[in-house]
């Protein structure tokens, strides 16, 4: 689970997850090892209530499935796309990282 915008705690200290070039290269390698492109790829995000449309706007041509959390403070969003390459998947995660409070699963 990656919280792309807000601090989270590891060993008691909060920090921000950033997609630096080393992480991107490692993720691209893993994607390429597990997928033959083009490939169906599933994005799963959790966003604070009211941020759903920001995520949906990133995927205007795709079907989006939403499920509200028990107390309604968060929404789980699932989107499947036919991705032509790992670069497209990474680009979509980078775009999604602009949504405040977004957690990528």
Distance CA 94, CA 36 (A): 21
Q: Residue ranges per domain, the chain?
A: 2-104
| Residue 82 confidence (pLDDT) above 90 | yes
Dihedral angle sign, alpha carbons of residues 37, 18, 105, 45: negative
| The pair of three-digit structure tokens given for residue 15, joined into one six-digit string | 């920090």
The per-residue pLDDT for range 14-65, each reduced to its tens digit, is 444 567 888 899 999 999 999 999 999 999 999 999 999 999 999 999 999 9
Overall pTM > 0.85:
no
Task: Mention the CATH class of domain 2-104.
Answer: alpha beta
């Amino acid at each position: 689970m990656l919280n792309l915008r807000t601090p989270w705690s590891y060993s008691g200290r909060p920090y921000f997850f950033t997609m630096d070039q080393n992480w991107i290269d490692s993720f691209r390698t893993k994607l390429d090892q597990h997928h033959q492109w083009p490939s169906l790829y599933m994005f799963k995000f959790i966003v604070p209530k009211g941020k759903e449309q920001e995520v949906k706007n990133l995927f205007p041509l795709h079907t989006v499935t939403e499920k509200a959390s028990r107390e309604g403070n968060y929404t789980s969003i699932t989107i499947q796309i036919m991705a032509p390459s790992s670069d497209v998947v990474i680009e979509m995660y980078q775009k999604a990282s602009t949504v405040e409070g977004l957690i990528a699963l």
